[in-house]
Structure 1
């Protein structure tokens, strides 16, 4: 029988505990540097099982351990309440509890992504970091204008050629001009890095049929689709769209006890915040585009307000992502010329040659008559959806007695 090993992981070391034949014992510390960790793993058996909590370096440690032991379990720290709520909390105690929970097969685990998914997560996070840095620099420029009582810029893009010319002509103290020039240099550098990151991601998107399929949804571009694919990995590991929605943290919190009706609160915000934020941004775009998604947004907005409506639309996008991927189908209400335009733009970002003097893929989107016709077709579908859901009402929870234990009869 193999042993059950718990690792309380820190940045530089991990404290180990072992359960063997029902007896718990301490196994000292293991250095987390790759060479030292490989040397420590030589003492492991092929039938051992190892458990560790999800931390910043747990993924790399789990990858090294996978080839040496029978099973590696990375536990969800939010669900390992025995450790989080312990009155006595030390490295030894944490490692012992992990080993004991693993031995009892009572350890909530997280999914370990494959190497491509890890790479996509790193790339999308790097791009998100660059965007945040650019936004911070732009906000500093606007703050300079605000504190010097300058009017709102009369240009659409303050950081374009015309906007920079307008900035240079403003009456500002010399030190403020120097600050703006320094911010612009940093902004140009980050813009170059962002262009490189977009090119790498565009190449990944072109090679992924799932990403191209998700791009048929209004509001979902390559960056949003890649963020979803990076967060989810294998869509088949979710048995239903509700499971995916819960994984992304877009389900409302529910509290219910006894015969009391369920109380629904804000969304759980579990999972990757970056992907959830990207879906919300995509929902804003989808809410302005003609189609059933806009009708859905308007219906929820009329009852609950725009903030709840946009989050509900983001949830709907997550449901669509699951169905389209699992069923292997494109979005039924996609606009063909717009989808071709998005894919052509993606190819150009990846470095494809530009087609001069002839019409290439995606050119149909420039045809106003065709674009108007597609829009009219989608607007018909939107009105049909509005008619379909006009009489829908929110379902109230059924009142159950004390003898049926809250189980509702199955509907025929």
Structure 2
């Protein structure tokens, strides 16, 4: 009697990725396999699989991290199934929680992959991934600009230079910059120190403006429909629209508002046991950057949209932070509805 193969043998590869080396653990649907170290090169892993596991259906998984998605794209080009997983989603049992090595991490990933308990994060395509990198560069520049402003104000305070009341705010007008440039000190070293900081400020400010302009122009050209749909919503300007496109991707992939609000982090944590129920706050597992953007956009929305303003007034008397989160959640609902229906928002229409 001849034995016939009724299904392809399966290979499960768990990878602990680092800059200089990869720790690999290979297991099949029949055997636990083995661990080894190899150079960080997808082609070398492909050669190893073709030599030792020919004819296998290959699945790979590794943790999301600083090495990005280049390995994932390479694995998919080989025809393999590839997952990039959140490290928090990898289950550790018993003593595994207290022992951590690269080999153990690779074994755990392979085991969870084999048991079907891993769920991949949404991996952006190269086009959207590169847009995301530029958007995050802008946020780095925002932090740098905020820091250099604080440094300049600190020096003025240190030398007892009082800022005129008309300039004492977060907006640095050209008149204020000229006023800083004209400050005189007893010795030239202090003057040169302040001038150096102002040169840094002007450089970062110009970089921020240039990057912001490039982001808006790119989205107007390559994501025109979604960009203008998002901008039709009061409170969502060009940069927030770019952030939604870059960080959240195509909102049509979210099945409902609960799914989207959980991803962004505008869904509360709920603990319930019997008759006792409490909400300790917002979900810590979230997209922190976009959550902050939606909260900022909510403040703008209540100034420009009467419907949002009326919704805000309904909750007056409560904690202001909780109210603005409610408004941000409503704004998120509008955002999803506008993209899914592909209909621009009309101010004054209840949604």
- TM-superposed deviation, 1:131: 1.4
- 2:333 is aligned to 319
Are residue 163 (structure 1) and residue 173 (structure 2) matched? no
Tell me what 1:248 maps to: 264
2:78 to 63, 68, 87: 68
Matched, 1:235 2:240: no
Contact 2:128/2:246, CA 8 A, preserved across alignment: yes
Matches within 5 A, 1:323-342: 323-333=337-347
Give the corresponding residue for 2:46.
Answer: 41
**Which ranges in structure 1 are unaligned for 5 or more consecutive residues?**
334-377, 389-412
Cα gap change, 1:86 to 1:269, in 2 (>3 Å)? closer
1:318 offset after TM fit, Å?
1.7
Query: Is the Cα–Cα contact under 8 Å of residues 184 and 191 in structure 2 kept in the other structure?
Result: no
Tell me the residue number matched to 2:196. Answer: 182
Matched residue SS, 2:276 = coil
In structure 2, the residue matched to 1:22 is 30
Which secondary structure state, in structure 2, belongs to the residue aligned with residue 111 of structure 1?
coil
Q: What SS class does the counterpart of residue 264 from structure 1 fall into?
A: strand
- TM-score, normalising length from structure 2? 0.87
* Equivalent in 139, 162, 167 of residue 128 of structure 1: 139
Q: 1:141/1:229 Cα in 2 relative to 1: closer, same or farther (>3 Å)?
A: same
Query: Alignment RMSD, CA only?
Result: 2.3
* TM-score, scaled relative to structure 1: 0.75
1:248-270 Cα deviation digits (max 9, x unpaired) = 1111111123x133321221143
> What SS does structure 1 have at the residue aligned with 2:33?
strand
- Report the counterpart of residue 337 of structure 1 in structure 2: none
1:306 equivalenced with 2:320 (yes/no)? yes
Partner of 1:225: 241
Judged with a 3 Å threshold, the aligned counterparts in structure 2 of structure 1 residues 227 and 107 are, in CA distance, closer, same or farther, namely: same
* Contact 1:30/1:37, CA 8 A, preserved across alignment: no
- Residue 60 of structure 2 aligns to a residue whose secondary structure is strand
Unmatched 5+ residue regions in structure 2?
1-8, 51-55
Q: Which residue of 31, 40, 44 maps to 2:39?
A: 31
Offset, 1:305: 2.0
Distance in 2, matches of 1:287 and 1:167, equals 35
Alignment check: 8 A CA contact 1:26 1:92 kept: no
